[in-house]
Amino acid sequence: MSYESVILILFVIASVVAVITRYINLPYTIALVAVGLMLGGLHLLHPPSLTQELLYSVFLPPLIFEAAIHLRASELWRDGWPIATLVIPGVIASTLLTAAVMVPVSVHFALIDAITWPVAILFGAAVAATDPVAVVSLFNKLGAPRRLRLLIESESLLNDGTSIVVFILAMQYIMGDLGTPQDAVVDFFRIVGFGLLVGVIVGLATAAVMHHLDDAMITITLTTIAAYGSFLIADRLGVSGVMSTVAAGLITGGKGLSEILFPSIRLATETFWEYIAFAMNSLIFLLMGFAVNLTLLWELFPIILIAYVSVLAARFFVVTGTWAVFYPTNHKFPFSWAAVMTWGGLRGALSMVLALSIPDSFALKELIVTLVFGVVLISIFVQGLTMSPLMKMLGIVSPVSQLKHYELLKTEISLYQDIIDKMNKLHQRRFLSAESLESLTSEYQKKIDALSEELDKAEVDKETLVKEEVLKTKRRMIMEEAKTLLERYQSGTISIEVYKTVKHELDSQLFELENMEA
């Protein structure tokens, strides 16, 4: 079977899994890993080999860019110090702590020739990258605090870049391409710093061009160029392509996408990138099952289990350390959040991308891939499946989430009432006979009565209900203002300067409302 056919089949499988998970209440990524593991074990398909160039040049840029364009630099800057602590010293500490456990463990399990300190650091860097895709979707579903979601998403995005740089430096050291430890430190800051600079330049240029575009297809093409271009330019210059793509994505999203005058263009662009992320994540999670030697996975399971515990312990040390440092400051956050951030730091696609990107000439590639996959597997299944009970136990789930069923009932009643009103208008204009109107009205009225009865029985906290209704009404009024503002600009009533000034004020009001909802 050709590679093209295999990729097509994998997309079909991913689509089927996505549909099924909606009905069985299982996180999509967890189901994908399970299916990929089964496919790999049965050897039914033979997918293309995942080369280092393919993984870095095709998979990484869109995954990083999509995550970055949905964050706002202003929001990230607000918690900049805690995030920076988690991202740089936190990732390095996590890598070293994991390595410090793996070296003596390898001695105990008679793998002394395999896991040396450089190899252990390589492994530690690969599993230091967090990938909370399943957790973030769960946060949105349960109504977790907005700031907590931003902390986890922002930290994950930036620690990916740090992890990759540490991983590359460790790989260079093992291959004999790196000098002294001092050289490694200098290289680290050079790679990160100049990578960010390249991304800033690409992002600003992209945003400047986007302000003059009124076509969704051109905008999507431009953002695609920014995603891959920022990565490839930085890579050619010998600096961090990931950090470059992060910076380009943040600026493109904050200064370009968010300021596009036409909502339809913004929606089309965001939808495109959501699909690209879905497609890339689907392929990676499915291909995990094909890339691992299941026999070796079982043989190494005791070491994998110890490695997982060490990774989790290192994560706990870093997160709680950050919590303790910032607790006396304005950047403090509850300890319950620290627990969720620790448990929510799942390992996923990026860890596997890093492991699979190790050159085939490296003798221990299969060992590292198996260890990383084992840790990712346990992380996804154990932490992913227990996150919801943990959040409920810690009381982090917003009470607003309890109103979803109540809001659903109200929405359905309102829609049916609108249908009856429209049918009456059709009857008045003689497009609908009296008999048909009576029959249809009776049918919809029965639905309204049943829903109304269920609505009356619904148990909901009145204080929470009033607060939520006030916030939603305020948001609706602001959105109406924004709509009217855009209409006046498009009709030539107001200038572009006035439009941008007022729109910025409205965006600030929306941001404040979102924080109140948290």
Q: Domain-by-domain residue ranges, the chain? A: 3-397, 401-460, 464-518
Which of 246, 289, 233 has the alpha carbon at shortest distance from 50?
A: 289
What is the model's pLDDT at position 518?
46
Pick the CATH number of 3-397 from 1.20.1530.20, 1.10.10.10, 1.20.1050.10, 3.30.428.10: 1.20.1530.20
What is the model's pLDDT at position 292?
72
CB within 8 Å of 337: residues ≥ 6 apart: 145, 148, 151, 323, 396
Q: Is the CB of residue 175 less than 8 Å from the CB of residue 122?
A: no
Q: Is the CB of residue 39 less than 8 Å from the CB of residue 283?
A: no
Amino acid at 455: L
CA distance 459 to 440: 31
| Per-residue pLDDT tens digits of the chain, which is 518 residues long | 677 788 888 889 888 888 888 777 777 777 887 888 788 777 777 776 666 677 778 888 998 898 888 877 777 777 788 888 888 888 889 999 999 998 888 777 765 456 788 899 999 999 988 876 656 666 766 667 778 888 888 888 888 888 888 898 888 888 877 667 777 788 888 888 999 999 999 999 999 898 887 788 999 999 999 999 999 999 999 898 888 999 999 999 887 776 665 777 888 888 899 899 888 888 877 877 777 777 888 888 888 999 999 999 999 999 999 999 988 887 788 898 899 999 988 887 788 888 888 887 888 888 888 899 899 889 888 888 888 888 878 877 655 555 666 777 888 899 999 999 999 998 888 888 888 888 999 999 999 998 888 877 766 666 666 777 787 788 888 888 888 988 888 888 888 888 888 888 887 777 666 555 54
204, exposed or middle or buried, with CB in 10 Å at 0-12, 13-18, 19+? middle
Q: Is the CB of residue 331 less than 8 Å from the CB of residue 82?
A: yes
What is the model's pLDDT at position 198?
95
Helix (H) or strand (E) holding 274: helix 263-291
What is the model's pLDDT at position 205?
93
End-to-end CA distance of the chain: 51
CA distance 399 to 468: 10
